[in-house]
């Protein structure tokens, strides 16, 4: 069976999209896909597993999202994520949505499979990427973010774990994933929300100031810093220390890690890690 869920009747939080066109299937994911034991990612309320479509043999990533979180019904947030992926179908830098399934407790998004994994693996690797390779990955990331911003969509959780690669060797193209925290701007009122991952959030998030497209650009600056140095610019010993480093923009550009980094790259990062969103 299939159901086409066009909108949610409950009032939704600001910035959430509520209308979708993708049919939500209820006839069982297992009937159409072989779910492998390969776990591609895991969060508090979601797990991503590799799956193979039985009719075609094609590989996909199945993202299992819990509908209830901390005793609250979060179906509307999942529908929003589906709607964002639908609106970004024409954006080649965003992961493609293939199908959606629903069970009693979960909604499963069947997504394009990015075989190269997370660019985070390159931040933590001893084999550093060249600056030319990093430039290409950042350019593609900015292309994807720019197209999202043109649709008044902000990601709000850009980090190396949410940017995947289509292949590892040779180094493929990037695909932006995980739109669970994304929001649409310009829906009538200013958007203020404490959201995101501590090491990557912009100062305006912590100060509960209006969120704009500039909020994502700060995160791109953090990603760029991590790609060229292999280190996180703001990570402290605890969440409070990390937040203090972000709010005070405590960035060290004098480390040994910057010894082989070009002035142009440092200048790019400096211009993004600016406290004033304007």
Active site residues: 157
Which stretches of the chain are DSSP H helices?
75-87, 120-123, 131-150, 203-206, 214-229, 239-247, 263-272
Contacts 24+ apart (CB under 8 A), 207-213: 207/247, 209/277, 211/154, 211/156, 211/183, 211/185, 212/154, 212/185, 212/277, 213/149, 213/154, 213/185
Backbone angles phi, psi at 108, to 5 degrees: -115, 125
Give the helix/strand (H/E) hosting 66: strand 59-66
Strand, helix or coil for residue 100: strand
Angle at 230 between CA 224 and CA 227, to 5 degrees: 25
Q: Of 165, 78, 89, 155, nearest to 120 (Cα)?
A: 165
> Tokens 């902000």 identify what position?
154
Backbone angles phi, psi at 189, to 5 degrees: -140, 160
What token pair was written down for 111? 């997504």
């Amino acid at each position: 069976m299939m159901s086409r869920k066009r909108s949610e009747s409950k009032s939704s939080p600001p910035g959430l999209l509520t209308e979708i066109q993708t049919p939500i299937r209820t006839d069982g994911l297992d009937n159409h896909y072989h779910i492998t034991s390969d776990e591609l990612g895991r969060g508090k309320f979601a797990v991503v597993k590799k799956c193979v479509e039985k009719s075609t043999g094609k590989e996909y990533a199945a993202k299992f999202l819990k509908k209830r979180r901390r005793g609250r019904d979060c179906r509307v947030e999942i529908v929003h994520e589906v709607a964002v992926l639908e609106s970004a179908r024409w954006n080649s830098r965003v992961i493609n949505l293939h199908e959606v399934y629903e069970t009693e407790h979960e909604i499963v998004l069947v997504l394009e499979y990015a075989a190269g994994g997370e660019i985070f693996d390159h931040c933590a690797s001893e084999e550093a990427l060249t600056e030319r390779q990093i430039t290409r990955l950042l350019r593609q990331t900015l292309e994807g973010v720019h197209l999202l911003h043109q649709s008044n969509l902000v990601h709000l959780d850009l980090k190396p774990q949410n940017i995947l690669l289509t292949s590892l060797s040779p180094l493929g193209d990037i695909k932006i994933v995980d739109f669970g925290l994304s929001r649409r701007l310009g829906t009538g009122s200013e958007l203020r929300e404490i959201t995101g991952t501590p090491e990557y959030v912009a100062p305006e998030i912590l100060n509960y100031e209006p969120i704009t497209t500039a909020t994502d650009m700060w995160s791109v600056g953090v990603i760029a810093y991590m790609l060229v140095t292999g280190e996180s610019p703001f990570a402290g010993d605890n969440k409070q220390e990390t937040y203090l480093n972000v709010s005070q923009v405590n960035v060290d550009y004098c480390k040994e890690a910057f010894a082989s980094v070009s002035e142009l790259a440092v200048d790019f990062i400096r211009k993004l890690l600016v406290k004033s969103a304007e």
